[in-house]
Amino acid sequence: MIEYKTVKVAGLNIFYRESGNITKPTMILFHGFPSASHMFRNLMPELEDRFHLIAPDYPGFGQSESPDHNKFEYTFDHLSQIMEQFLMELSIDKFYMYVFDYGAPIGFKVAVDHPDWIQGIISQNGNIYKEGLGSKWASRQDFWDDPTEEKRNSYKNAFDPKTIIGQYTFGTRENVVSPDGYMLDISYTHNEGYAQRQLDLIFDYQNNIKSYPIFQKYLRNNQPKLLAVWGKNDPSFIYPGAEAFKKDDKNVEVDLVDSGHFALETHSKVIAQLIKNFF
């Protein structure tokens, strides 16, 4: 059974989902954009017989508190610091981590700072290699190199309903993706201040790419067991990013599933079994 909880971290109410027996190994599930911990709603029941599972919503996402972007720094460094404090507040210092999309830089920043915390990694379309960047990132590089208000506002299309639905459905078979996930994500876009929070993070994403060598060095130095399971039809983080993990970590298994960016929407049972087989 999944329980829905809130804890105070750095003065903010942080929402999280929890399931499984606390005597089992802990797994932290780091969500991506434009989603929140609800993206793990189908995976958690599949894993709770083997793991104690915790899936938080970052500040500004889902059910967690969303301070104004003029008063709170929406950067990936800051979100990762909040997640570190979240883990310390829950007295968690040994865990497997599942990282997806935005969860990859957040999770790997935690791993770099606390390599002794990490028992293993599942990266599901969670990229840390330039090989994994799809074609859309070229236009974002132009925004990062020459930021203007006009360019910033143009990225509001990243959370347009059509874009969000496309993120869920592109690369999947017709009629296999439930509307539940993307309709909830769309509803969150109507929250006060949503656009400015997300635009801040889109601009800051450039610093994640600059941090790729740091994340890769962490892998070389620590050699964690790492399962790279990828929706192979994802246009944002393309599957060569999964294969690239093998360059730095000898303890890697790569599995490609016939899905898109949100592979859990179609392959949660398959991915759960891959996790159980690997760990």
Q: Are 133 and 238 in contact (CB under 8 A)?
A: yes
Query: How far apart, in whole angstroms, are the C-alpha atoms of residue 101 and residue 146?
Result: 24
Q: What's the Cα-to-Cα distance from 228 to each of 117, 129, 173, rounded to whole Å?
A: 19, 12, 22
Q: Cβ neighbours of residue 277 under 8 Å, at least 6 residues apart?
A: none
Structure tokens at 2: 């999944």
Strand 3-9 vs strand 12-19: parallel, antiparallel, or unpaired? antiparallel
Which DSSP state fits 211?
Answer: H
**Neighbouring-strand partners of residue 16:** 5, 56
User: Is the Cβ–Cβ distance between 47 and 53 less than 8 Å?
Assistant: yes
Q: Is 114 a catalytic residue?
A: no
Residues 212, 242 contacting (CB under 8 angstroms): no
The residue from 31, 38, 69, 261 that is catalytic is 261
- Asked if 21 and 68 count as a contact pair (C-beta separation under 8 A), the reply is no
Our measurement of the distance from residue 6's CA atom to the centroid of its chain's CA atoms, rounded to an integer in Å, reads: 20
Q: Which residues are catalytic?
A: 261
